[in-house]
Structure 1
Amino acid sequence: MSEETNQNSILLEKTEKEIVNRHRKESRDLIATVTSLKKQATKGEKKKKKQILKDCENLEQELKQKHVQELRTFRQHNNDKTEDHGEKVEDGEKEESDDEFSPEKLLAQLELEAKEATEESTKKTANKANPHQDQPKGPKRNRQKERLAKRALRTEEMIEEAKNEAAAQPDLKKIEAENIQALCQIRKLQQHDIAPDGHCLFASVSDQLNTRHNADINFRDLRKQASDFIRSDPDSFSPFLFDEETLSMKDINVYCDELVNTAIWGGDMEILAFSKLYNCPITVIMSGRSALTINENGSNPELMLAYYKHSYGLGEHYNSLRDL
């Protein structure tokens, strides 16, 4: 649009107020455009950012100059028109003219609106980066206390879950006790309790030898006898020494030393050793399985033991079984 055409369009507007209103709208449109361009500038390269900021500055300056020039043109035309026709300015019109924007006031208004838009944009960006920045601060959180409280709550929940699971599980201890008692009644036997101290197998065999073979041998001597017998026949007892964790055979001499000097538990290998050593059958009854008899062909009186898996807190256990 040429300068002459632009001036003609200005003269079509009847009052200065119409021009000022249009200027305000153009200023708001420019502010929106500048704000959009500045947002793009934050995402680009440094050189591109500098160019965009310079372009924004030029657009603002051009619009300011355009608005000032349009107001001057309009006022100059109206002044000439008033002189040609001898029109008088009424008091009301004068007061209205005093309320219109001067070029200086318009420039100040444009700068103020641009500043407010920039501040608003900056504030929104800051709020997005830190949404809790403007919120009033409450009491300082004790994070360690919160963690301890959560841990305590979780522990309580786990205990409660364990209780519920235990309540839903069958009482294996009760079932085992009832089954062994029933087997004892069939065989006319009674359980003789042995202390669950790691020596229970040897103490049970000691009680059986005393009861059925009339032999007085304590559990320590029985450990030594079993150790010597196992060491003397490695071919028969080495298969018992396979270690499932390391998938290797344990040294038989090392095991026999532990058997004598520690409270290592006895099991099938020691029962086999005693059945051969005393030439007698040894029968072990247990819950849910058939009775196990070792060395059935032994010629001396049979020894009777009971094996427990669930009835004692330390785990597996042996008791001596005496006749009723």
Structure 2
Amino acid sequence: MESVTAEELPEEEEEEEQEQLLKRHRKEKKELQAKIQSMKNAVPKNDKKRRKQLIEDVAKLEGEMEQKHREELEHLKLTSHAKNKIDSVVVNIACLDIENQQPRISKAQKRREKKAALEKEREERIAEAEIENLSGARHLENQKLARILAARHLEIKQIPSDGHCMYRAIEDQLKEQECLLTVATLRSQTAEYMQNHVEDFLPFLTNPNTGDIYTPEEFGKYCDDIVNTAAWGGQLELRALSHILQTPIEVIQADSPPIVVGEEYSNKPLTLIYMRHAYGLGEHYNSVKQLMDSATENGS
């Protein structure tokens, strides 16, 4: 019987360590969301420059936390794996001198049951979180968008929230047309086009502190940020891209009719999804793809 106790104890400790780590991760994520909300509340809605910087800061914070949590889980797995190897050797040696040893199958079954219980608990936590979000703005927006897209045999294709989402969505749509332009290229061409057509864009850019139209220097800085930072793109940049690509760009929203820029061009439109409640800061662009069922039907 001693061999059973020696084998089960490290396993119980491993599961307890994992649960404690996941519990701490959930707490840290909640604290980060509270911090993000506080950061958001501190920035005026009309301060576009500070909001863009805020988006970069939030993306960095979320990315750093995600990487930290991933590394901690990986470290725990590696440590547990090494401990399990040592424990296995010790147990096997001890078992050589023990008669009436319990069948290995019962121990394996016990491990499976414990893992199943942990998985069930995790699924229950996910279900509870989904129930809490049923009346949230993000959930309602997703429902509306799903209905709009389903009518067109489309569905959302998720794009990372890193400040480059609009350009990444354009990049993804261009791939469908076998046009391989990178995010860096799209940013560079956008800034160059806007600088060469100042009169088409400058009147729509104002200093959030004074309300005055951007000075040439401020406009130059704005274009530099497009190229050299993760500055969030909006309707002005979409207008520039439609001229660069000579292609219409359609933006689907949950609560408003679609916006189309570049209607003067006859190419197949690029389709983006604009979401107001996707992340802590709200605004986010996604791409679209064909629904699998409709794609199958078209191919049959």
Q: TM-score with structure 2 length normalisation? A: 0.50
| TM-score (normalised: structure 1) | 0.46
Higher relative contact order (CA 8 A, sep 6+): 2
The structure with the larger Rg is 1
